[in-house]
Structure 1
Amino acid sequence: MSILISDEILDSVRRELKGALSSVQIITAYCKEPSFLHLDGYINDGVKEKRLLVRFRMDDILKGSTDFSIIECGIRAGWQVYICFDLHAKTYIIDNKRGLIGSANATNSGLSIGKNRNMEIATLVDIEPKDVEKINKLFDDAILIDSALLRKLKSQINAVGKNGQQEIYSWDASITTMFNPHIDTLFSYELPEDFNLRNGEYFSFLDETYNGDIVKFKELFRWSNAYLWLLAILKENKGCLYFGTLAEKLHNILISDPKPYRRDVKQMLANLLSLIDKLGMEEIVIDRPNYSQRISLRK
């Protein structure tokens, strides 16, 4: 295994795509049409399985990080196109045997195509059967684009600007609720620490400094693994759990070395619920009918 930097990444991706026999899978937070077509051009016609997974947040489209046209472009080129709103990975997988994993998005700057280049780093690794299962799970949890969803996405992106200006944009609930990831594990660093929610405060679990824009901060938090896990675990338990039971479920899913003490897990959960309360997350209701907090999905 060797470390690849900038131009070496593009050379390696091209070489691997040329040698692909049966399948190619590209997983990228950002994706630009010219870069995607450049990569697709290296794949021979005998490769029948081609899958693209892109983050595709509305803000990514409006800021130009990802091209909306990548969906139709990919479908026309014979790809299955998936979207996933919490994606950060950049991975290129060939024949489920080799994978290039690193920081390079499928964009000109990410892959050093043209003049504007980022300094990226990656490595080429062998893909094992257990890795294939993880890769398939990413696609299983994502949303496969069909014609009906494409029309809905187009309608919402075309409506932007007609209802006034705002700091951050997102797809409406008819789209976002289609994304139902299965969070099987959490790390302690994916949960909020004790906080004050004041200007300049850094939230390491989001890698974000709070600047007073609560709308933007809520949107970032909405797609955090901790919040997605909470929504999913409540759905699995008829929409309601009490604090003690929820803390036990959090303890069971946490991966850390060493595993946190139960009292620490309770504090982690308390921090999470406190942030939900301060942000006024619409999906969750927190009350205390007796002595223990009750956490419910809003009906």
Structure 2
Amino acid sequence: MALLDEKQLRDRLKDLLPSSKRSWIYSAFISATAAEWLGNYLSLSSESRVLVRGRLDDVVNGVCDLNALKLLLEKGVNVGMSSALHAKIYFFDESVIASSSNLTAAGLALCQSPNIELGIEAQATASDVTIAENLWRQAVKVDLSLLQKMTDYVEGLDLSKSTEHLIWPGELFVEKRDLYCSDFPLEGSLDQPEWNRFELLAQTTAYRWLLNEVMKENVALSFGYLTKKLHDALYDDPLPYRSDVKQMLSSLLSIVDRLDEEKLQITRPRHSQIVSLRSLVN
């Protein structure tokens, strides 16, 4: 294994891209310059894929270029989005490169003033493949039709207002991914907009998990039952203590109780907490 700076990574990709049947590139950010460069070297196959974070605020702030995704789709590359993605990996037949370099001109030294980046190349293992495949399985798959709808939505935004904490509407972006402690309101993050505005809360993975559990059972659920379900659903390794799971759930229910006047209702019989659908109560 050896460290690769941004220029060495670019040159290594030039070697690997044309000869690899499997080319998986996962990068939080993407630029049109880098996508065009990639297309010039990529050996297209059904195994060609690019996974980006793709959040609406990324698009509006220019770190995720929808034109770059269009270019790749038109070349036959599979494209996905995962809103929690921060990793940057370049995965080929026999090797995988983990790097700080995004798929951008600055990240791959395709401009005069690139970022200072470092990465490392190693032989790909079966475990590496499983991790990468799991990320792809949970991604929102993007085609030209969906991309056009996203482009139209962005063009219709009033960007004279704040561009922080923008989210895609549910009809464009519905994500089903593994559940982690970081998806829940934690100490130090309670002032974030998603925990103070229902329209943002409703799009969080934590709220969607809670709503899905209640809708699936179609009955009122106790705090104890939900604690066990949450503990079993978390993918963190190591798993948190049960006491920490209780605190996470308690924080979420407190926020739901304060903000949700549409779907879920929290009641407290005998000093416990019960979560139910408002449609069942009313």
- Quickly name the TM-score band, shorter chain normalised: 0.7 to 0.9
Which residue of structure 2 aligns with residue 165 of structure 1? 161
Which residue matches 2:275? Answer: 295
The CA deviation string for residues 100-119 of structure 1, in whole angstroms up to 9 with x for no partner, is 11221100112222123222
Could you say which residue in structure 2 is the equivalent of 1:87?
Answer: 85
Counterpart CA distance in 2 for 1:242 and 1:281 is 18
Aligned 1:79-228 pairs, distance under 5 A: 79-95=77-93, 97-161=94-158, 165-168=161-164, 169-176=166-173, 178-183=174-179, 186=180, 191-194=184-187, 202-203=188-189, 210=191, 214=193, 226=206
**Contact 1:18 1:43 (8 Å CA) reproduced:** yes
Distance 2:277 2:10 in 1: 46
Task: Encode CA deviations 1:64-110: one digit per residue, 9 max, x unaligned.
Answer: 11111122201222211222222222111112x32111221100112
Report the Cα offset of residue 282 of structure 1: 7.4
Partner residue, 2:229: 249
Give the match for residue 33 of structure 2.
34
Aligned to 2:250: 270
What is the rounded CA distance, in whole Å, between the counterparts of 1:277 and 1:155 in structure 2? 35
Rate the CA distance shift 1:272–1:2 in 2: closer, same or farther, 3 A: farther
Q: Which runs of 5+ in 2 are unaligned?
A: none
Sort the Cα spacing of 1:136 and 1:61 in 2 relative to 1 into closer, same or farther, 3 A.
same
| Unmatched 5+ stretches in structure 1 | 195-201, 204-208
Measure the CA separation in 2 of the matches of 1:230 and 1:249: 10
Contact 2:265–2:278 (8 Å) recurs in 1: no
Q: Which AA in structure 1 matches 2:14? A: R
For 2:105 and 2:50, how far apart are their aligned partners in 1?
A: 17
- Structure 2 CA distance for aligned equivalents of residues 260 and 53 of structure 1: 29
> Alpha carbons of 1:37 and 1:147: their partners in 2 closer, same or farther (altered >3 Å)?
closer
- In structure 2, relative to structure 1, the CA distance for the partners of 1:252 and 1:179 (3 Å cut) is closer
Aligned residue identity for 2:26: I
RMSD (Å), alpha carbons: 3.3
Structure 1 counterpart of 2:76: 78
SS of residue in 1 equivalent to 2:42: coil
Moved more, 111-120 or 289-298: 289-298
Matched-pair contact (CA < 8 Å) for 2:10–2:109: yes
How far has the Cα of 1:35 moved from its partner?
A: 0.7
Q: Is the 8 A contact 1:167 1:216 kept in 2?
A: no
Change in Cα spacing, 1:235 to 1:92, as seen in structure 2 (3 Å) is farther
Aligned residue pairs total 275
Question: Alpha-carbon deviation of 1:136?
Answer: 2.1
One-letter code aligned to 1:155: D
Task: Name the TM-score, length of structure 1 as normaliser.
Answer: 0.76
Name the CA distance, whole Å, in 2 between partners of 1:235 and 1:13.
47
Mapped partners of 1:113, 1:132: distance in 2? 28
Q: Secondary structure at the match of 1:122?
A: strand
1:264 CA displacement: 3.4
Select 1:57's aligned residue among 49, 55, 58: 55
